[in-house]
Amino acid sequence: MPEISLKVLREHGRPEIFLSLARVPNSSRVVCGASDGKVYGFDALAEKPEFKAHEGHGPFVTGVAVAGDIVVSGGYDCKLIWRKLDSGEIVKTAENAHARWLRKLAASPDGQRIASVADDMVCRVWDREGGLIHELRGHDERTPNHFPSMLYACAFSADGQKLATADKTGRICIWDVSGGGKLAQLDAPGFYTWDPKQRIHSIGGTRSVAFSPDGKTLVAGGIGTIGNIDHLDGPSRVEVFDLESGKSVHLFEGDAKGMVEHLAFHPEGKWLAGLGGDNGGLIQFYDLAEKKVFKSDKAPMHVHAAAVSEDGKQLFAAGHGRIVVWECV
């Protein structure tokens, strides 16, 4: 079983809630979307970073992606904005990229494709210049209890050939990036909690997905069954799927409390990190081969997004009022 220790390299307190994060490859530069509707670019390892703010969105920028020298952002206003990475100059705007809240963006490993998912239950795949390539529909617009559903997460495989999308009810669709066809559907209903008595409403959902570096495994993160849906007082939940068989092969549940908002693999598959939280923050490391949590710790904030460096030695995280960079050794 691997061993790991975490050392805080940098920690920056901020007034904003950072809802999304993308890292510029081979650097310590990151781009974050925030609750104030701005997109911030800065060097996360600088002692006193200069936070360059770019406007153009309404509140809650919940998705950012870096594609070469382009940054794409989206959020609650359903809008997508393409900017130049260095200057922040807007090069394209799609005012109605989606019909409802745009939840997340992902860039393909080669930087040539951007995926966006939103509460209209559609995934759209764009080229880096802003041209629409695919419109992918495989998620139901309503939950089994007849409420509007939400499409929370998306991720590309390491080879860029597959794309996963995941929704509130635990449905996960696997797509062929080249042709746009649906390759598989996985179901993880344990991420969805329905309260039929007090609130007559639901909570939960598959909030994060990640392919293993070898492309053989898909992992989904969120929260298990919650007693009081007004709070995130439930067990953290990470479910592992074998993509060849399409079956769930392991479940990590209850090792911590709170929602797993982001999943990140070590580039060589040595470990999987899950980050998120409830009132506070959580960070866990999973050994998929041994099917064990080998490290569990508290993050200094509820984490919404994270990224791992190419050598797996640095972990960048963004969340409530804070940016943290850990050294993973």
Q: What is the CATH classification number for the domain harbouring 233?
A: 2.130.10.10
pLDDT for res 196 = 75
- Whether 228 shows a pLDDT value over 90: the answer reads no
- Whether 229 shows a pLDDT value over 70: the answer reads no
pLDDT digits (tens, 9 = 90+) for 259-287: 999 999 999 999 999 999 998 999 999 99
Please indicate, yes or no, if residue 12 is contained in any of the structural domains. Answer: yes
Question: Which residue range forms the structural domain that includes residue 211?
Answer: 6-328
Contact 256, 221 (CB under 8 A): no
Taking residues 246-259, what's their average pLDDT?
94
Contact 274, 259 (CB under 8 A): no
pLDDT for res 43 = 98
Percent of the chain with pLDDT over 90: 90
Residues with Cβ within 8 Å of 117's Cβ and at least 6 positions away in sequence, in order, are 102, 103, 104, 123, 151, 152, 153, 154, 165
Taking residues 154-170, what's their average pLDDT?
98
Contact 86, 41 (CB under 8 A): no
Distance CA(24)–CA(239), nearest Å, equals 29
Please indicate, yes or no, if residue 282 is contained in any of the structural domains. Answer: yes
Please indicate, yes or no, if residue 105 is contained in any of the structural domains. Answer: yes
Which token pair is 327? 């050294």
Query: What pLDDT band is residue 204 in, cutting at 50, 70 and 90?
Result: confident
Contact 92, 56 (CB under 8 A): no
Contact 238, 219 (CB under 8 A): yes
> What is the C-alpha radius of gyration for the chain, rounded to an integer number of angstroms?
18
pLDDT digits (tens, 9 = 90+) for 90-131: 999 999 999 999 999 999 999 999 999 999 999 999 999 999
pLDDT for res 226 = 81
Query: What pLDDT band is residue 199 in, cutting at 50, 70 and 90?
Result: low
Please indicate, yes or no, if residue 315 is contained in any of the structural domains. Answer: yes
- Whether 201 shows a pLDDT value over 90: the answer reads no
Please indicate, yes or no, if residue 97 is contained in any of the structural domains. Answer: yes
Domain count, the chain: 1
Please indicate, yes or no, if residue 1 is contained in any of the structural domains. Answer: no
Contact 274, 222 (CB under 8 A): no
Residue with structure tokens 């990036």?
177
197, with CB counted inside 10 A (0-12, 13-18, 19+), is: exposed
Distance CA(144)–CA(189), nearest Å, equals 11
Please indicate, yes or no, if residue 22 is contained in any of the structural domains. Answer: yes
pLDDT digits (tens, 9 = 90+) for 17-44: 999 999 999 999 999 999 999 999 999 9
Distance CA(295)–CA(273), nearest Å, equals 9
Please indicate, yes or no, if residue 83 is contained in any of the structural domains. Answer: yes
